[in-house]
Amino acid sequence: MLYHLLYPLHETISGFNVFRYITFRSIGAALTAFLLLLLVSPWFIRFLRDKQIGQVVRTDGPASHISKQGVPTMGGVLILFAITVSTLLWVDLTNSFVWVVLGITLWYGVIGAYDDFQKIKKRNSKGLSARGKLVFQAVGVLVAGSYLLFVHPDFDTHLSFPFLKDIRPDLGPWYILFAVFVVIGASNAVNLTDGLDGLAIGPTVISSSVYLMFSYLAGHIGLSAYLQIPYVPGAGEIAIFCGAMVGAGLGFLWYNAFPAQVFMGDVGSLAIGGGLGMIAIIIKQEILLAIVGGIFVMEALSVILQVGFFKLSGGKRIFLMAPFHHHFEKKGWHEPKVVVRFWIVSIVLGLAALATLKIR
């Protein structure tokens, strides 16, 4: 909105020329979302406590988690509020890509909120059925994908691979099914990762920072050509959404850091994963998500391997407990140590993802 209100005045007030720059507006979005979270969270945490919207902790988990019973959850509502307000304040509102990413993020937030409410109402950790969640998630991507493929003028259905600039297979209409896989996979991977204080929000901030840079480059005709990455006209505005994700994530981390005063809930984790997945699809950096979001991938893979091996071996386990973060808890690592070490890995993966820009 500020872009539409203030940039046109730059002829009279030259300083307003700065509102044309995506870099400036991305930083503005990050700071706005950060301050919103920082200032509103204390009130919101009290609100959640008063309404008894507290975590129901499973008894079969690590013993250290029992003390987390009742910690206010659904803090993701405030994360989504800050991302939405900040994005709409700083973005070019005529950019359809931003509306697609925001739409998927909020839709996945609605799915997660319903799941959270079911758990809180029934006082158990079951919530929405896995099948129900998958159907609702798939519908969202099918709608978004149909818009991108059949309405948006020149959406590209070619895949792009890190390091391999010349391999760009065209999936054609099948690209929609690939998009469903990427977005749902990312959403559920973040959901599984959100099992320790700060564990999901840390890599979220790192992934959003990396995708902020990739979005800016993808939307820049000169830099994308120089770096030999797909040029996606209009993708630069997604950097502002990423900035809002970074700011909201840092603001939430202030209160989710160990010992957490609030959990994000499925409303937050499903939405964040869905948003990151949709961003990867739009800026044509889908496979790169496996590197940028490597922590999320590792966590999801640990569950798949654990459950698969458990069934095939008649009850044996690969890990002491899945997802992966619980394995280290069972080995005696304290929660903050597990979380910070996962952040370190996430930062290294983010740097590796940026390195693919030059190694092609």
- Determine if 25 is a binding residue for ligand 57M (CB under 6 A): no
- Residue 98 is encoded by which pair of tokens? 């931003």
Question: What amino acid is encoded at 339 in this protein?
Answer: V
Residue 278: strand, helix, or coil: helix
Among 307, 340, 344, 355, binds ligand 57M (CB under 6 A): 307
- Determine if 269 is a binding residue for ligand 57M (CB under 6 A): yes
Quote the longest CA-to-CA distance of the chain: 75
Q: Tell me the C-alpha distance between 19 and 30, whole Å.
A: 15
Q: Which stretch binds ligand 57M (CB under 6 A): 175-183, 207-215, 262-270, 346-354?
A: 262-270
Nearer to ligand 57M, 133 or 284 (CB): 133
Q: Tell me the C-alpha distance between 242 and 154, whole Å.
A: 23
Question: What amino acid is encoded at 10 in this protein?
Answer: H
- Determine if 73 is a binding residue for ligand 57M (CB under 6 A): yes
Residue number of the CB closest to ligand 57M reads 61
Nearer to ligand 57M, 56 or 354 (CB): 56
- Determine if 306 is a binding residue for ligand 57M (CB under 6 A): yes
- Determine if 266 is a binding residue for ligand 57M (CB under 6 A): yes
Q: Which stretch binds ligand 57M (CB under 6 A): 41-49, 145-153, 194-202, 204-212?
A: 194-202
- Determine if 350 is a binding residue for ligand 57M (CB under 6 A): no
Residues 238-257 that bind ligand 57M (CB under 6 A): 256
- Determine if 120 is a binding residue for ligand 57M (CB under 6 A): no
Q: Is 331 exposed, middle or buried (0-12, 13-18, 19+ CB in 10 A)?
A: exposed
Q: Tell me the C-alpha distance between 80 and 209, whole Å.
A: 17
- Determine if 61 is a binding residue for ligand 57M (CB under 6 A): yes
- Residue 133 is encoded by which pair of tokens? 């969640």
Nearer to ligand 57M, 25 or 325 (CB): 325
3-state helix, strand, coil in the chain (%, to 5): 70, 0, 30
Among 208, 58, 333, smallest CA distance to 200 is for 208
Quote the least distance from Cβ 246 to ligand 57M, whole Å: 18
- Residue 134 is encoded by which pair of tokens? 């998958």
CB 159 within 8 A of CB 287: yes
Among 27, 85, 287, 303, binds ligand 57M (CB under 6 A): 303
Contacts with ligand 57M, residue ranges (CB under 6 A): 55, 57-58, 60-61, 65, 68, 73, 125, 191-192, 194-197, 256, 260, 263-266, 269, 303, 306-307, 310, 317, 321-323, 326
